[in-house]
Structure 1
Amino acid sequence: MFASLPKALRVTLACLFLLANTVAHVAPLLLLTLVRLVLPLKGLRDACGAALVHIAESWLSVNGWLWGAFTRTVWTVEGTDGLVPRDNYLVVCNHQSWIDIPALQKVFNRRIPFMRFFLKSQLIWVPLLGPAWWALDFPFMKRHSREELARRPELRTKDRDATRRACEKFRHVPVAIMNFTEGTRFTQAKHDAQQSPYRHLLRPKAGGVAFVIDAMGDAIRHMLDVTIVYPDGPGTMMDMIAGRIREIRIHVRKLPIPGGMRGDYENDTAFRERFQAWINTLWTEKDERIGAMLAAGSR
């Protein structure tokens, strides 16, 4: 609709529409959050929580419409048939770009439960979005360096306990928990520093996935193994708004979570090795899939 406008005008209008959409949804979201905090009955608080999710899904729907209206990006998506909005999912994905999150939100919004991400604690201070994420029960985690963990091993327990508290809350509502298993965006420098055995991926960090699966128990039975590629290379959010991302390819496969993949990752060495082997196998398959998706995108 607006993709044919001159670039400067198109980018300006897109940014204004995105800002207006955010303000229009975050304002009632935060107001309803205040109401929820003072309500005395759990049933009423739960109803407010469901209303908050509906507001967030409306927000994402408008954002998705804006991507289509202001860009000519081609979306190639496979594997979303048969997903159920009332089922629970653990979503694992490779991490290429800041575009990954809005891309996944566009593809999965209202196809699966509202996705929650584990966020760095500093992001709570992001204007508008930080308070909105807090209101929507996104878990905020502190990230510690190896040096900090060596000096204060109890910090590991705090992160694990925060994961368990978040998952305990999610056990009682439909939820999709999102995990970028590499822990950071892919760059060639990071790949080389890790001496990653994969061509297109960083080494996966299995601990976070294991903690979520164990904490959620039988409440979560399926994993969505998501692979995202940009045939012309990943870009920034401004590249997306400016129409420089010509194609986004996303592959989804729904997998059962094996019963043997629930256990004490931190203290059970045999289980930890078995879980890591499972994740490494998934990552080997994902690496091969990325190669095939990139080759298909170049034809």
Structure 2
Amino acid sequence: MLHFLPGPVIGCISVIFYIANTILWLIPILICSLLKALVPLSQWQKFFSYLLDQLASNWVLCNTFIQKVFTKTKIKVTGLEKLKMKDWYLVISNHQSWIDILVLQRVLHGKIPFLKFFLKKELIYVPLLGLAWWALDFPFMKRYSQHFLKRNPHLIGKDIDTTKKACEKFKYKPVSVMNFIEGTRFTAEKHQQQNSPFQRLLKPKAGGIGFVLQAMKGNLSKVVNVTIYYPDGTPKFFDFLSGKIKQVNIAIETQDIDESLKGDYVNDRAYKIKFQQWVNQLWLDKDKKILQLEAQAKKDM
């Protein structure tokens, strides 16, 4: 609509609208958060959990509207037809930019339940947003390194206990648990440092989703495997807001979580090795998918 304006101007206007939209929905979310926290009754908190998810979904819907008004970015996506709102999903994706989150929210909105991202425990102290994330039942995690656990053996198993408690809230209503299993955004430097065996991906970390599947005890029914490719190159946040990213290609594949994917990731070594092999194969296939999307984009140019 305003595509005639220079990119930096569009970007600045977009930022203003994103901030205004966030404040618009953050206020009722914070009010409902306080109401939810005041009365520790399960039915009361369930009611506000549904209400808060709807408020957050409206925020995503408005963000998408802002994108469509100010930018010409086209989202080309396949695989949405198998998704539905009344199901429990584990959503995984490759990770290249913070734009990934906006893109995922945009294409999956109204197709699956509102996305719940795993957050570092320290983020709960972020003013206002920390309370909002808590109210929206985002899982706050505190993961310990192997080196730290060797020095503090009494904390072994604490991370899986934290995961279990976080996932308890997800059992009574459909949910989409989101995890970037590379653990960080892809860069050429990180790729080289890891000596990654994948051409377009970092090494996956199976532990996070292994813990989630174990903690959910069969409640999650499907894996939504999302592959994101940017034909214009990995975008910076302001580039996306300025309309410099012309297209995003997304391939979605859905897989049932059968008995072979269920087990005790912490104590069953055989299952742990098998699960890691499954994740590694999943990432090999995703690497090929990105190369296919890349080749197709070159043909379309």
> What range is the shorter-chain TM-score in?
over 0.9
For the pair 1:198 / 2:175, whether they are aligned, the reply is no
Residue type at the aligned position of 1:159: D
For the pair 1:92 / 2:55, whether they are aligned, the reply is no
Alignment correspondent of 2:273: 273
Q: In 2 relative to 1, CA 87–18 (structure 1 residues): closer, same or farther, beyond 3 Å?
A: same
Alignment correspondent of 2:74: 74
Alignment correspondent of 1:118: 118
CA distance in 1, matches of 2:217, 2:49: 22
Equivalent position SS for 2:217 = helix
Question: Cα offset for 1:158?
Answer: 2.2
Deviations 1:239-295 (A, max 9, x none): 111122222111101101120221111221111111111111111111000000111
CA distance in 2, matches of 1:148, 1:40: 35
Alignment correspondent of 1:295: 295
Q: Which runs of 5+ in 1 are unaligned?
A: none
Equivalent position SS for 2:80 = coil
Q: Which runs of 5+ in 2 are unaligned?
A: none
How many pairs align? 299
Alignment correspondent of 1:104: 104
Alignment correspondent of 1:22: 22
Query: Is the CA contact 2:36–2:135 (under 8 Å) kept in the aligned structure 1?
Result: no
CA distance in 1, matches of 2:60, 2:276: 34
- Superposed CA RMSD in Å reads 1.6
Question: Cα offset for 1:189?
Answer: 1.4
Alignment correspondent of 1:131: 131
CA distance in 1, matches of 2:29, 2:143: 28
Identity percentage of aligned residues: 44
Deviations 1:5-61 (A, max 9, x none): 233432222111101100000001110111122236422221111111110000000
Residue type at the aligned position of 1:230: Y
Residue type at the aligned position of 1:30: L
CA distance in 1, matches of 2:258, 2:246: 38
Spell out the pairing of 1:24-43 with structure 2 (5 A cutoff): 24-39=24-39, 41-43=41-43
Spell out the pairing of 1:163-178 with structure 2 (5 A cutoff): 163-178=163-178
Q: In 2 relative to 1, CA 177–40 (structure 1 residues): closer, same or farther, beyond 3 Å?
A: closer
TM-score normalised by structure 2 residue count: 0.94
CA distance in 1, matches of 2:40, 2:201: 48
